[in-house]
Amino acid sequence: MTSDSARTPGRPFGRVLTAMVTPFDAEGRLDLDTAQELATRLVDLGNDGLVVNGTTGEGPTTSDEEKAALVRAVVEAVGDRATVVAGAGTYDTAHSIHLAQAAEAAGAHGLLLVTPYYSRPPQSGLVLHFTAIADATGLPVMLYDIPPRSVIPIDLETLQRLAQHPRIVAVKDARNDLRIGTEIIATTTLAYYSGDDPVNLPWLSVGAVGMVSVTGHVVADRLRAMLDAYEAGQTERARQLNASMLPVLRAMGRVGGAVFAKTAMRLRGLDVGDPRLPLPPATEAEVAAIVSDLDAAGVALDAEARAGRRSGGHGALGARASADLGAEVAYR
């Protein structure tokens, strides 16, 4: 598989993408060697795309320099086998443009742009924001519609208008409104990707082309098999595969996506470090429950990691300048 073969007509970023966690070392610093090993493992497992610097990748707590370095490392490791999509959306248009241009310079194949959060702009502001970023690079753009985090949705008419931009080509949907999504799929050329693992299969039924997953850290092979079965008309097989992943969804629901994925990767033998604050690592009790869930799903775990069930430290601030700590800092 090459990155070009992953980007097929109608599937501009591939079929099964995982929103990859960002590995940190014991001191909370970015660990690029482990990031490359993780990216390779994820592609070997069945992902033909990776999203880096997203929410699961703890993008709000990594510096601009760390984001660019991570993109370069992941592209170097798997860029010939998978699409590498860089999260570049913030609540500041100028800062988002800076991140998008840095991602392009680092070799990213595409951009993920989340709806501006906290400031709650009107729909006219969304059009101006997304258009300005899309105009700033030559990269294809996937919009990220997630009102539970951003508060405001991207309205139907706004998506139809943005779809006319030549580089806005896809939507990652975590809004879970299949009616709106069905209408967008029917009235635009936007490629729809499920952005919420519990509804991956329902989205396929209305025309989604793939998924941007968190559970893909451990079951990308099953996600791919489910998609293949559904598209081959083997709907009962697709339902069975979907049901087999329910314990993984339960595990993720215990602690949230980033903490679950980091815990799961450690249990599978690759320590990607603790999350940065404000995300705490899983407690011993939570790790034990996740082990039980992954066992129920038939996910293979590393024997030594299982025996240790390390709950991690206290959550790291990371080796960043004080000006970068906390909320996103506007680019000047």
212 has binding-site annotation: yes
Which one of 91, 117, 144, 230 is the catalytic residue?
144
Distances (CA, A) of 96 to 121, 131, 210: 15, 11, 26
172 catalytically annotated? yes
Q: Is there a contact between 24 and 30 (Cβ–Cβ < 8 Å)? A: yes
Q: Is there a contact between 194 and 173 (Cβ–Cβ < 8 Å)? A: yes
155: exposed, middle or buried (Cβ count in 10 Å: 0-12, 13-18, 19+):
middle
Which one of 91, 172, 192, 230 is the catalytic residue?
172
Q: Is there a contact between 300 and 264 (Cβ–Cβ < 8 Å)? A: no
Sequence ranges of the binding site: 56, 212
Annotated binding site for pyruvate: 56, 212
Active site residues: 144, 172
